[in-house]
Amino acid sequence: MRAIITATELAHDLAGQAPPVLLDVRWQLSTAKAAGAPAFDGRAEYAAGHIPGAVFVDLDRELASAAGEHGRHPLPDLAEFGAAMRRAGVSAARPVVVYDGGQGWAAARAWWLLRWTGHPDVRVLDGGLPSWRGELSTQAHAPAEGDFEPAPGAAGLLDADGAAALARSGVLLDARAGERYRGEVEPIDRVGGHIPGAVSAPTTENVGPDGRFLPAADLRDRFKALGVSEEAPVGVYCGSGVSGAHEVLALAVAGIPAALYVGSWSEWSADPSRPVAVGPDPQ
């Protein structure tokens, strides 16, 4: 199954006899609120214009539980997540397409959660809403309730100990910006740096200037250069399990399975007992 879909393909599918469920997950990581500026409001963006038939999904409330000891975007309560997906019209036998404002991180978080909990057919709109050339709607869509029941898989998810072990036994990719990996700056979490053994792999380098994924062959070459091979398992983390999901999606486009450490650096760095590496060297 392909992990992404083009805007042209989506328009074709939406016009067909069995259109996919369409989820709008516009969200931005923003420090504006701390500076006294209004925080990004994805629901208001949705109300101002969305792809016809899309249902808004709130990342902070429906794709994560409250921030705490397990990070800024821990896994959602599965019963609540399932209820939210059913309200959005998600059913096990119907394809799902997810999009966001173009960055791709939030859409990838929804993609990863649905895939990890057992949905067989989920794709992300490559390039997000900016790639859409059709009309937009300002009318909220109220779909019939779906029947999706989350059934988490045994693979694909890492905790802190699992991430630490994978950094030694396989390849653990750090999807954050290089300066955060090196510990030169840390605008959000308690301390800068990275999990010892992790390799810097900024997720921004998986896409071109238009925000669309690089060709699969180019992504395979990129990950190979970072040490990824068929012989070793691969995991990804970021700040709070959002941009890391985008890197897992990029790996999927390249045909490489990978697990996600959802707690990511926001969980790891909150525990003073866990080691922190700084600088460009993984160790």
Residue numbers annotated as active site: 238
Q: What are phi and psi of 91, to 5 degrees?
A: -130, 155
* Residues sharing a CB contact under 8 Å with residue 151, sequence separation 6 or more, in sequence order: 117, 118
The alpha carbon of residue 205 and the mean position of all alpha carbons in its chain are separated, in whole angstroms, by 15
Tokens of 164: 């630490």
Q: Are 24 and 125 in contact (CB under 8 A)?
A: no
Q: In the 3-class helix/strand/coil scheme, how is 135-177 assigned residue by residue?
A: CCECCCCCCCCCCCCCCCCCCCEECHHHHHHHHHHCEEEECCC
At 85, is the secondary structure helix, strand, or coil? helix
* Residues sharing a CB contact under 8 Å with residue 192, sequence separation 6 or more, in sequence order: 180, 182, 183, 184, 185, 186, 278
Rounded-to-integer distance, Cα 14 and Cα 135, Å: 13
Q: Are 125 and 111 in contact (CB under 8 A)?
A: no
Residue 227, CB-side half-sphere exposure with 13 Å CA sphere: 18
